[in-house]
Structure 1
């Protein structure tokens, strides 16, 4: 055990999870690589939980942060803030939401918490629809709507949550159905549920479930849900904390895979937009955003230095078509991983889109989740110089792969080769 880890355990909570039997301290990074305190180099396929979205030490972002820090770092929302207005203008336009208003927070948790406040206030209801296997953050309200018991430490909540089918395509009571019948069954279930309760305020859903192991429904499910929601006046909140900014390759936002009914009523974002700086936020139609009847501020949301980082990062992402790169390189990586998986009886499924890829592990010869196997592969990959994540629903048995969106074809092949060797530990 390192001295730093012993000090960590002495002063930080037991429930503050770390990866690896011997946790590592990352000291610096460049591009898609990071180094630990012992000088070991790793190819980063997790990006600080999908947060280092473009690259480590991206010159355009570090320059923007340094220059802003030399002027003013912070003033709160009590004063006009040019970088915040400029980033809000760009995010509002990119969101696709008409007459959009943007509120900046410091995290995805806080963004979802704000979205829940807006929806329940606007609809005068404390009932929320959420997806099974979902994750929406660490706050009291967010864990109360999280449909993954491994990340929801209490059943106490200010909200009444009703969980809906559909977030996991290949498990559950409808897994045996084709895509069209799967969607129809989930819609029927939603209609039946709404026939038994007072109309909820909103449905909150991740287009691709992050902590849940990068699972997703067939394209079009949320458009079909939206038609039912509209009949009852129920809002749709798209949690884009992990799926936003082009990571899925085919679309800039995850909701666009279900866009037959147009954009969501409320969209939340965070993680990658700051490339490591703490930025989250909410986008909503003006009538929803402005429904609160008391004053509010944000001390740290939208502070000048984080907004400068967000503006530089978003500019780089758009000018270099990182969404297109995610589609091209991600597609190659998924096919490479599927070819590897075909040789491993412990791999149940390789799923995902763009540079958001899940590899679900099971005990060979069964359909039972293998969390011990996932932990072993995580360790073996680190030993070989690759950092990945893990997640999943009933058990943490899915490997999560989400590199920075500047990943090259050569780096994708390097990571796949390491993962191929790491998977041998569960044969």
Structure 2
């Protein structure tokens, strides 16, 4: 039996049926270097998905590998009952980069856990469990974060510890306001927000949470300024603003270090995960001191901010800053967006190519309609893999191709990826 087939049989025997796998014949990745990976049967690929935008700099980045190796040789774990120097050093660096003044940082192990804490902080401060979120959003797989996820495909239960109401704005392509220009679109979404607060809440809403670009939702990208206009409404009602930067942080959008900065908004709370660890298990929350210190019960984190993850994340972040990976995302990502749009302009199955920097979505529809075509997306990622390129998919209807490579991607590698994706789309046209 081939190794992949053997691994799949063993996987099915001991892991949940609902644990999603890519490809008709799933693969295991065993080695990586830079932007390339090799599977268990020796096939090599250009990785344009980075473990769901998590391999931020590069596979096996020497600086991260050495930092992890050195820390592992000293101490793997202590828990937050003890001072952890790498944790303190990383928190200092993140606080310096934060979009709010005098920020404090708490480390968790996943984006879901980070968003859970953000909800706790906001609900504690406002003495309310009412939450506003965006339609088509995704904020995690835990109980409360599933409750604020506006995408039925990722909501396993209607039960929730929070009372959530959804507003328009994040996913423009399928919005009833899609034919409006940017200014009119923003005005319509703000009017919807005002209406939801007035008619569907008791008035004392705890917070509004939004991804600047919706990740799992298919890299849906609203017009710049939308969230700035929304925040004016939120401020009038005393509603706290949480920006979910799990996928948009650390310069991935190219234009800004944090996605929310495109909207001229200073958030009350920011959550992060994925790219900061380059594959290590680390996430966290950044907030103003008054909010972060508002929790009155005792608390610790057994694994959040552990020495190993913090040492690796610090090396990873410093590499990204020292090598201007935000600038590379802007340049190479801009090239990919422009070229993909030009090369696929004649394909009726391509409804929209959107995103910023190295965060690009391609929405696929049945030709001549707006009807989503998830089968075409599934065929496209298979065809791209056959050509040696790994990409992702997502969206409300699972019909959007997602491109989110390491931020060190070169222009030559981008061109290789573009060629494979164009060919994959034409195969299924």
Alpha-carbon separation, structure 2, partners of 1:421 and 1:173:
33
Alpha-carbon separation, structure 2, partners of 1:221 and 1:364:
31
State how 1:128-277 maps to structure 2 within 5 Å.
128-196=131-199, 197-198=201-202, 199-259=204-264, 262-277=265-280
State how 1:17-416 maps to structure 2 within 5 Å.
17-196=20-199, 197-198=201-202, 199-259=204-264, 262-393=265-396, 395-416=397-418
Alpha-carbon separation, structure 2, partners of 1:348 and 1:91:
38
Scaled by the length of structure 2, the TM-score of the pair is 0.98
Alpha-carbon separation, structure 1, partners of 2:340 and 2:145:
33
Alpha-carbon separation, structure 1, partners of 2:90 and 2:182:
38
Alpha-carbon separation, structure 2, partners of 1:76 and 1:263:
32
Alpha-carbon separation, structure 1, partners of 2:118 and 2:367:
42
Following superposition, the deviation at residue 200 of structure 1 comes to 1.1
Instruction: Please say which of residues 311-320 and 1-10 is displaced more in the overlay.
Output: 1-10
> In the TM superposition, what whole-angstrom CA distance separates every residue of 1:213-265 from its partner, at most 9, and x where no partner exists?
00021100110111100111000000000000000000000000001xx4100
Partner SS, residue 317 of structure 1: helix
Alpha-carbon separation, structure 2, partners of 1:2 and 1:312:
37
Instruction: Please say which of residues 321-330 and 339-348 is displaced more in the overlay.
Output: 339-348
Alpha-carbon separation, structure 2, partners of 1:343 and 1:252:
34
Alpha-carbon separation, structure 1, partners of 2:338 and 2:130:
41
Alpha-carbon separation, structure 2, partners of 1:269 and 1:231:
27
Following superposition, the deviation at residue 425 of structure 1 comes to 2.3
Alpha-carbon separation, structure 2, partners of 1:354 and 1:389:
16
Following superposition, the deviation at residue 343 of structure 1 comes to 2.3
Moved over 4 A (4+): none
Partner SS, residue 223 of structure 1: helix
Contact 1:247 1:323 in 2 (8 A): yes
Partner SS, residue 236 of structure 1: strand
1:14 and 2:21 matched:
no
> In the TM superposition, what whole-angstrom CA distance separates every residue of 1:41-92 from its partner, at most 9, and x where no partner exists?
0000000000000000000000000000000011000000100000001101
Contact 1:341 1:350 in 2 (8 A): no
Alpha-carbon separation, structure 1, partners of 2:294 and 2:369:
51
Scaled by the length of structure 1, the TM-score of the pair is 0.98
Alpha-carbon separation, structure 2, partners of 1:383 and 1:155:
39
**Number of equivalences:** 424
Alpha-carbon separation, structure 1, partners of 2:258 and 2:78:
31
Following superposition, the deviation at residue 168 of structure 1 comes to 1.0
Alpha-carbon separation, structure 1, partners of 2:99 and 2:260:
10
Structure 1 gap segments, 5+ residues each = none
